[in-house]
Structure 1
Amino acid sequence: KSKQRHSNPESFGSIQSGAGDFADDDPIQIIRGQEESKGEPTVGAVDIAAYGVFAFNYLQLSPEKAQEIPCTINLESPAQTSEASRSGVDIVCVIDVSGSMQGEKIQLVQTTLNFMVERLSPADRICLISFSNDATKISRLVQMSPKGKKQLKSMIPRLVASGGTNIVGGLEYGLQALRQRRTINQLSSIILLSDGQDNNGTTVLQRAKATMDSIVIRDDYSVHTFGYGHGHDSTLLNALAEPKNGAFYYVKDEETIATAFANCLGELMSVVADQIEVKLMTQPTEIPFSLSKVYSNSGDTVFTLPPLMSGDKKEAVFLVQFDPTTQRVESGHRIQPICFKLKYRIVSNGNIVEQEYPIWLRVENPEYEEEIVIDSDVLVNFYRMKAADIMKQASKLADRNQFEAAKELLTSGNKELLDSVVASHEIVQALAADLLRSINEYQNAHVWHNEGGKHQMKTRFRNHVDKRGMEMDYYQNSMQKCLAIEAKFAIKKR
């Protein structure tokens, strides 16, 4: 992927302007272990398990009633034994330095950036961009060697707050930094932080999408966005992150900024597979059925999943409805109503893996008496997506100022989870509690629109859908948990 380059590591650029000047990135350092993985078989790089499973160990046929059974597609990766074996990442930080960021806010951002610089390795690179009325390039993509870290830290104080908010200008610079770099790391990401509304807010969403569409970047990248305080545009920031398999984080206070950045950085530092695509396919069987609901980002049978981290599990959830039938089968008969195609990229060597997997289900006649065994993991993930869907529907009601209806929906959802057969599971308990505490965000129009209720629910909803651990440590891997502790300590001692 690397192009020939002629870089002078001594010429650490002064502040530059013009989105056409980003072809000055530092060389990429190949860490021992990464070089050896190039071209190796996929299994040698990372062993990812993929399989599908129904919530019940068998379907008992019924001539009278339809039966809807949850099913999951599961991806699992082993935990990395050494941080030295992880993939390198290019991170473009796009920071709002408008006047409203003055004081504590900009100081916290500077502290967080210093923490990020300290925590990265020579395999990584950071580019720093600021925006207020206009966007400014603070640094090129700098290799996080000891020398590069020192140089970049000397640039961070140049983040000085003044002026308005040109989010689209900052986004354009961030995209150009990725597009114009001469060498490309194994992972790439834009981290964009803002506390306000764009100067031209009425057209900002259309302009932002047009900017992303017009700047074509050959290699895959993610976008993670951070909304600081109550006044930011969470609709815009969420719309930037979601299609690029990134996360939107609502940063409401000092403690939240440490947790948010630690989660984001921990993910980027431990991704083992990305560009994950799933295609569900139905197969003809003698038992009539339909695919009744797919909990996916597209709502369709073809969808993507967030990147898979080291020591991580990702599940796609869907429902299969079996119609009433008088069909008879031999005991132990198995059907394959669903199969799925899976495609993903192994980050360490760039290999693309494509494979098809069947999902089998045993079928028994109505008089069969064996007790049905429930797969609790499938049901827990079903209720995870159910809770997220309830939050999404409640937010739609709140946007129409139907706050009582939103609260009733959350209350009934809480009861449904606590009445379920997996109610005692710690994740279901946490989900039920999350639905209940979310009622606080729907008290009235002022809380929803002006005190962060809307922002909080956008983050909470996406966290549960994507299994990202901003508020739920059940979704965090060991890297994220470790970084969260370190980041909080760095913020406190500043």
Structure 2
Amino acid sequence: MEREAHSLKIEKILFQAKSDYQNVMVFHVLVIGEGDGGVMREVARHSSVKQIYICEIDKLVVDRSSSSKLIVSTTPPPQTDQLLTAISLLFRNSKLSGIFSNRTSKKNCAICWSNVTTGQGQAIFTAECSHSFHYPCIANNVQHGNLCCPICRAKWDKNNVPFQFSGITHGFADDEPLPFTSPAQSSGPQNVTIKTHTETSAIPAADSRPQYPVLVSICAPPLQDPDGEVRTPIDLVTVLDVSGSMQGQKLDLVKQAIKFVIENMGSSDRLSIVSFSTNSRRVLPLRRMTVDGRESAIEAVESLVAGGGTDIAEGLKKGTQVLEDRRQRNPVASIILLSDGQDNYCRSPSQMLKKLPASIRSSDMQHEIPVHTFGFGNDHDAKIMHAISEESRGTFSYIESVGMIQDAFALCIGGLLSVVAQELRLTVRSASHGAKIVSIPSGRYVSQISDDGSQGLVDIGNMYAEEVKQFLVYLLVPQSSASETKTSLMDVLCVYRDLASNEFIQLQSERVEISRPEFCSPTELAVCLEVDRQRNRLLVADAIGEAQRLAEMGNLEGAREILTQRRETLLASAAAKAGDSLSNMFETELKEIRDKMASMKLYEEAGRAYALAGMSSHSRQRASARGNAEGSCLAMKGRKQLATKAAGRASGGRSGAATLAAGGFGGKGGPKGKRSAMDHLVAAAGDSDEADDMSFALFDGGSFDGGNDVHRGAFETPAMVRMVQKSQRKNQSK
């Protein structure tokens, strides 16, 4: 049996002495842990045990137990007359009696023997024979095939126990069956959109460009019914740290956050809950979030109790097994992992990655199980949590304060509950002789260039509703032999599985071409806002990664210098001078990370996690929580300041703005009913309210509803923002 470690506060020592064998103490707390008590606790879990004897050879313990009003039997149990004494643990009139009394008492759980009265913070199950037990205790009993009451031995109806019992199962092949029809399949397909922007509208015919950027933007369609269940259902597993450091307010707020997740899942969605500390435990099997399923899930959440060490790998293995062993599968599957402490068994990311199940390390888009990790507080191991998310195609979020847990979860599930496309692959092909693909910076998305630069691929995987992915494709553009003509640069194709129709759809955009006049006007050579913005984003992502690497080496001065230099470069860009809101956010991001690298103490407390969360977000072009980052829908301050800075730059750089190519994601002028990026920039110079909206436009460059005062950071989708707002309203109503 494993040895266990416990800590306790002793209110008062009632007795203390030293026998021939040990130190003996009596105090106001009973600890059942190592030795006899630990053995007894495990034996007592088996309902076939009728009575328990502890045989004690230490006379001092026996004498003291007698004087403490314990019933002590000196009659040896049958066939054990060689033992000196047997103590039958039936307490009476002692302060310990409320903790450890007659196992048949209606006030106590007959499995763990602790109190089962309501109001103690634990879920209680009352059987048809009227005996009550802690929910996790009896659920575990039932899962092992025991359908009899541990007290009266009454046989229970297998359909009226905490979880459905279908005999002994192997692994976790006990997921609740899916409904016959999926709500997402009742609607027709909505196509992903592809847009392209060249850096300039023309290149002189006599010039060549060794690294000419073309921006490819992919935008997913919106949800057809944002407030209903006509969407793709999900199988979600939450893997929760319940180690000793989670006691008190931390665990209470995590429970609250998981309840929020439960409330916002639909009847076709399924949820499983796994807890881990020194060991891991599946608290809830994969159940549909129907009315009954939600009640069971909430009871399971309430049963969580903090204690023990931290073994993240064990929790992830069990959470992954829940998904691997499913008999049926929803189209989307994901794991949410939360931890607040240092892992006791893995001291480095490399050690942790070796322990991860192969299924969450797979690069196969068809069997994608992303793990979205949440580092809670200043003591968690940000490097390990970040490594897990990167390896599994998930995101890493940094929860700086306890009050942010629910909102951070809301941001994540807002995306998970809005997946509209899967297995998305972007293909670009050279469209003329001499034009070659040189590079495609793609972050953590797998990309490759083949056929001597004639073709490039990027595997993107799943996409949330209205999510935008943007990639700069750098081309070698040769000289043109004939002026006043156009050069064909490349063709862009996209293949993905549409989840509304469950069909594969292939799209092809218009061929990317560029004019080749003999001489170019200043307007033709003007830098495109969208291209420059994406170049700024890549600049920032590289700067964060390089600064974080230097900080880990202890070179904080070098890290701050990198961030300062890149910030100056960003501010000198055409987009920043024109007052581009996203470029302004990126500048603020560099400044915040630099401030968190002021000292090694500050870096280790907050800077490391903040930087890694930023790297995670940029590498996947997907929103993640980062403390109280300015510009995010999670932020509670700093919105007007950012808007003012953006408006000021636009006002001071009108001439620069006038040379920029117009249009947000929708191209010149944008989609019908939406204003172009140029319109926003011009309006920002003289309208502070419009500037406030403009500074928090989506990353696509300006799609927003100006009347709703919606604030979005980079990569935050409308579905994410709606869920965060729902969480914030719920918190405010309490």
SS at match of 2:285: coil
**1:448 matches 2:448:** no
Percent identity (aligned): 24
In the alignment, is the contact (CA less than 8 A) between 2:185 and 2:502 conserved in 1? no
Q: Distance in 2 between matches of 1:11 and 1:58?
A: 72
Shift of 1:267: 0.4
- In structure 2, give the amino acid aligned to 1:484: V
Shift of 1:456: 0.7
For 1:305-324, list aligned pairs within 5 A: 305=460, 307-322=462-477
Q: Distance in 1 between matches of 2:515 and 2:720?
A: 42
Shift of 1:462: 2.2
Q: 1:391 to 1:10 in 2, by over 3 A?
A: farther
Residue in structure 2 matching 1:437, options 589, 592, 600: 592
- In structure 1, give the amino acid aligned to 2:176: D
Match of 1:115 in 2: 260
- In structure 2, give the amino acid aligned to 1:413: R
Q: Distance in 1 between matches of 2:600 and 2:476?
A: 39
Q: Distance in 2 between matches of 1:418 and 1:236?
A: 33
In the alignment, is the contact (CA less than 8 A) between 1:96 and 1:194 conserved in 2? yes
**1:274 matches 2:419:** no
Shift of 1:227: 0.8
Normalized against structure 2, the TM-score is what?
Answer: 0.60
Match of 1:457 in 2: 611
- In structure 1, give the amino acid aligned to 2:443: S
SS at match of 1:174: helix
Residue in structure 2 matching 1:417, options 545, 570, 573: 570
SS at match of 1:221: coil
**1:294 matches 2:444:** no
Q: 1:226 to 1:378 in 2, by over 3 A?
A: same
Residue in structure 2 matching 1:238, options 365, 376, 386: 386
Moved more, 346-355 or 378-387: 346-355
> Residue by residue, what CA displacement relative to the aligned partner does 1:349-389 show, whole Å, maximum 9, x if unpaired?
43233456575231424424362154322221221222111
**1:26 matches 2:212:** no
**1:73 matches 2:228:** no
In the alignment, is the contact (CA less than 8 A) between 2:349 and 2:383 conserved in 1? no
Residue in structure 2 matching 1:353, options 505, 512, 517: 505
Q: Distance in 1 between matches of 2:511 and 2:544?
A: 30
Q: 1:145 to 1:209 in 2, by over 3 A?
A: same
Larger RCO: Structure 1 or Structure 2 (Cα < 8 Å, ≥ 6 residues apart)?
Answer: 1
In the alignment, is the contact (CA less than 8 A) between 1:292 and 1:321 conserved in 2? no
Residue in structure 2 matching 1:198, options 333, 343, 351: 343
**1:285 matches 2:433:** yes
Q: 1:304 to 1:491 in 2, by over 3 A?
A: farther
Structure 1: give runs of 5+ residues left out of the alignment.
1-7, 38-43
Match of 1:41 in 2: none
Shift of 1:20: 4.8
- In structure 1, give the amino acid aligned to 2:488: I
**1:480 matches 2:720:** yes
Match of 1:4 in 2: none
Structure 2: give runs of 5+ residues left out of the alignment.
1-157, 450-456, 633-711
- In structure 2, give the amino acid aligned to 1:442: M
Q: 1:374 to 1:309 in 2, by over 3 A?
A: same
Match of 2:196 in 1: 52
Q: Distance in 1 between matches of 2:254 and 2:520?
A: 63
SS at match of 1:45: coil
Shift of 1:276: 2.4
Higher relative strand content: 1
**1:226 matches 2:374:** yes
Match of 2:105 in 1: none
Q: 1:10 to 1:127 in 2, by over 3 A?
A: farther
In the alignment, is the contact (CA less than 8 A) between 2:375 and 2:381 conserved in 1? yes
In the alignment, is the contact (CA less than 8 A) between 1:290 and 1:322 conserved in 2? no
Moved more, 117-126 or 352-361: 352-361
Shift of 1:269: 0.9
In the alignment, is the contact (CA less than 8 A) between 2:537 and 2:586 conserved in 1? yes
**1:212 matches 2:357:** yes
Moved more, 480-489 or 244-253: 480-489
In the alignment, is the contact (CA less than 8 A) between 1:258 and 1:487 conserved in 2? yes
Shift of 1:467: 3.2
- In structure 1, give the amino acid aligned to 2:588: A
Match of 1:265 in 2: 413
**1:101 matches 2:256:** no
Q: Distance in 2 between matches of 1:345 and 1:167?
A: 33
Shift of 1:492: 5.5
Match of 1:5 in 2: none
In the alignment, is the contact (CA less than 8 A) between 1:93 and 1:174 conserved in 2? yes
Q: 1:244 to 1:359 in 2, by over 3 A?
A: farther
Match of 1:183 in 2: 328
Shift of 1:392: 1.0
Q: Distance in 2 between matches of 1:241 and 1:105?
A: 22
**1:154 matches 2:308:** no
- In structure 2, give the amino acid aligned to 1:391: I
SS at match of 1:267: helix
Shift of 1:446: 1.8
Moved more, 348-357 or 67-76: 348-357
Shift of 1:311: 2.2
- In structure 2, give the amino acid aligned to 1:377: E
SS at match of 2:469: strand
- In structure 1, give the amino acid aligned to 2:438: L
Shift of 1:253: 0.7
**1:344 matches 2:496:** yes
- In structure 2, give the amino acid aligned to 1:183: Q
Larger Rg: 2
Moved more, 80-89 or 160-169: 80-89
Q: Distance in 1 between matches of 2:414 and 2:432?
A: 43
- In structure 1, give the amino acid aligned to 2:460: L
SS at match of 1:442: coil
Q: Distance in 1 between matches of 2:186 and 2:440?
A: 44
In the alignment, is the contact (CA less than 8 A) between 1:95 and 1:193 conserved in 2? yes
Q: Distance in 2 between matches of 1:316 and 1:243?
A: 21
Residue in structure 2 matching 1:467, options 599, 618, 621: 621
- In structure 1, give the amino acid aligned to 2:223: Q
In the alignment, is the contact (CA less than 8 A) between 1:71 and 1:319 conserved in 2? yes
Q: 1:289 to 1:45 in 2, by over 3 A?
A: closer
Q: Distance in 1 between matches of 2:408 and 2:461?
A: 17
- In structure 1, give the amino acid aligned to 2:201: N
Residue in structure 1 matching 2:539, options 371, 386, 389: 386
SS at match of 2:622: coil
Q: 1:490 to 1:425 in 2, by over 3 A?
A: same
Match of 1:167 in 2: 312
Residue in structure 2 matching 1:253, options 384, 389, 401: 401
Moved more, 157-166 or 340-349: 340-349
Shift of 1:36: 3.1
SS at match of 2:474: strand
Higher relative helix content: 1
Shift of 1:29: 2.7
Match of 1:367 in 2: 519
Find runs of 4+ consecutive structure 1 residues off by over 6 angstroms.
214-218
Q: Distance in 1 between matches of 2:333 and 2:465?
A: 17
Shift of 1:418: 1.6
Q: Distance in 1 between matches of 2:482 and 2:290?
A: 66
Q: Distance in 2 between matches of 1:60 and 1:437?
A: 41
> Residue by residue, what CA displacement relative to the aligned partner does 1:94-142 show, whole Å, maximum 9, x if unpaired?
1011111111111111000011111111011100000111110101111
Moved more, 421-430 or 25-34: 25-34
- In structure 1, give the amino acid aligned to 2:572: D
Shift of 1:318: 3.3
In the alignment, is the contact (CA less than 8 A) between 1:226 and 1:237 conserved in 2? yes
